Chain A
Amino acid sequence: DAGVIQSPRHEVTEMGQEVTLRCKPISGHDYLFWYRQTMMRGLELLIYFNNNVPIDDSGMPEDRFSAKMPNASFSTLKIQPSEPRDSAVYFCASSFSGSHFYEQYFGPGTRLTVT
């Protein structure tokens, strides 16, 4: 398997622009997670899905952030409008409930810079 795939790997945008981050989980995995990592705040869970349904979005910082999972093989995280404080590395991870242990497999991340 190719692992979790994220695109783009790097994104530079100007404040106020819309940003869309994409994730393809490992085939057969039924959980998908979005994380944000910064030096100041460390690794934060933003939202996670089970069988394409959002389960917990309490980590989403504000209404500017939204996430969707239209099918089992694709998810997006959208920021609109973007702000400089959104600059971070965003990770997507997936896991399989059938493994019982729920280990998560991470993608390589998207480094977002908002100027």
Chain B
Amino acid sequence: AQSVTQLDSHVSVSEGTPVLLRCNYSSSYSPSLFWYVQHPNKGLQLLLKYTSAATLVKGINGFEAEFKKSETSFHLTKPSAHMSDAAEYFCVVSVPNAGKSTFGDGTTLTVKP
């Protein structure tokens, strides 16, 4: 069985300050982990993925995430928020060679000018 918990439903930051979106996971196997972003009235876009090649994963638009097995976490960070980062972010876990993924409930990121 697998599950994912996004620890914050809403995060608000000022433009130019760091972003931290938290995600914890549970999996019986070595998981694959993903972050997706959904801008208003748009579909979900793959931001980055962890596939065991490296614990620090870089994604698009300056985002990165670090896989910490001991903490079962996969937090998403960005050094400096931009107004265009305002969106909903989903953390996703899947078991390799399994078809279905488990989505978190999402975190809404607000960026204040």
Q: Which residues of A does B touch, CB under 8 Å?
A: 31, 33, 42-43, 45, 48, 50, 55-56, 91, 93, 95, 97, 100-109
Contact = CB atoms under 8 A, between A and B. Distances in A.
A88 B51 CA distance: 32
A97 B44 contact: no
Contact of A100 (B43, B96, B103): B96
Interface residues of B, number: 22
Interface of B: 32, 34, 36, 42-46, 49, 51, 90, 92, 94, 96-101, 103, 105-106
Most chain B CB atoms below 10 A, which of A45, A56, A101: A101
Q: At the interface, is chain A mostly helix, strand, loop or mixed? A: strand
Given A91-B43, A102-B94, A107-B43, A42 B99 contact: no
B102 to A, nearest CB: 9
Contacts of A33: 100
Q: At the interface, is chain B mostly helix, strand, loop or mixed? A: strand
Most chain A CB atoms below 10 A, which of B36, B45, B101, B105: B101
A30 to B, nearest CB: 9
Nearest to B98: A102
A103 B49 CA distance: 8
A88 to B, nearest CB: 13
Nearest to B105: A42
B96 A101 contact: yes
A101 B100 contact: no
Given A43-B90, A43-B106, A103-B34, A108 B43 contact: yes
